[in-house]
Structure 1
């Protein structure tokens, strides 16, 4: 039985998307697109969506999703949501690219705030986005499954 399986019901496959809430969408997009090299696949005034491997990173403008969104053509609704404060998320990277990522961050003026060597052999670099969210680049060996 996998970790997400339950003997009494359906299973979860993986985390599909995660969200960060940002104060200035233009500033946040500049950081994620320039420093991290992400390309948006959809965006409007209140959000931007980036594909990151098999997952999606959503940037939402703080206070921009406080009302129900009604999708066109009977597409349904998205309930209100929002977030405040510094949150943490990690991006999976290959160990062989750790030095290249460190160089890229340095070239974009992004300060490495912390480094960790994990008991399973993984390594992590920690830095912040313009909104103060703690971002991590993590190599395999951080968790039992990664």
Structure 2
């Protein structure tokens, strides 16, 4: 059986220095580096920023034109004020606003932005999915 978890998310980036500067402006700190890739330690998992050409080669698809795909990375926050604060910081860091935070159909509050490479992030407060003191999400069973 394959474990039900994700341990590392890798984002392909056109310019590693631009991507690193954006995430630094969000307050993120690089934990480890290798040529062409930067890694960030998150709670129980990691995020990697990997140059697009090198990522394609690493995937066995040298020369392939990699896109951003149909994916959203989400950060759930404890309340609406935290969503708004994170949104403001992302905008100041140079994010592209896709949808400003607002009340949404499922009863929460969320907004979307894109990083310099078009990777989409959602900032959300979901009053139905509790966060522990460390900010870890629990999806209640239905």
TM-score, structure 2 as length reference: 0.71
Deviation for aligned residue 1:105 = 2.3
Aligned residues: 126
Deviation for aligned residue 1:86 = 2.4
Contact 1:123-1:142 at 8 Å conserved across structures: no
* Larger relative contact order (CA 8 Å, sep ≥ 6): 2
For structure 2, list consecutive stretches of 5 or more residues without a partner in the other structure. 130-137
Give the 3 Å change call, closer, same or farther, for CA 140–18 of structure 1 in structure 2.
Answer: same
| Aligned-residue RMSD, C-alpha | 2.8
Correspondence 1:101 to 2:86: yes
Structure 2 counterpart SS, 1:113: strand
Give 1:28's aligned residue.
19
Contact 2:39-2:47 at 8 Å conserved across structures: yes
CA distance in structure 1 between the partners assigned to 2:128 and 2:117 by the alignment:
25
Give the 3 Å change call, closer, same or farther, for CA 15–37 of structure 1 in structure 2.
Answer: same
Considering fraction of residues, name the structure with more helix: 2
For structure 1, list consecutive stretches of 5 or more residues without a partner in the other structure. 1-9, 69-78
CA distance in structure 1 between the partners assigned to 2:42 and 2:124 by the alignment:
14
Contact 2:36-2:51 at 8 Å conserved across structures: yes
Structure 2 counterpart SS, 1:145: coil
Structure 2 counterpart SS, 1:112: strand
Structure 2 counterpart SS, 1:105: helix
Correspondence 1:139 to 2:130: no
Structure 2 counterpart SS, 1:57: strand
Matches within 5 A, 1:10-49: 10=1, 12-34=3-25, 36-49=26-39
TM-score, structure 1 as length reference: 0.69
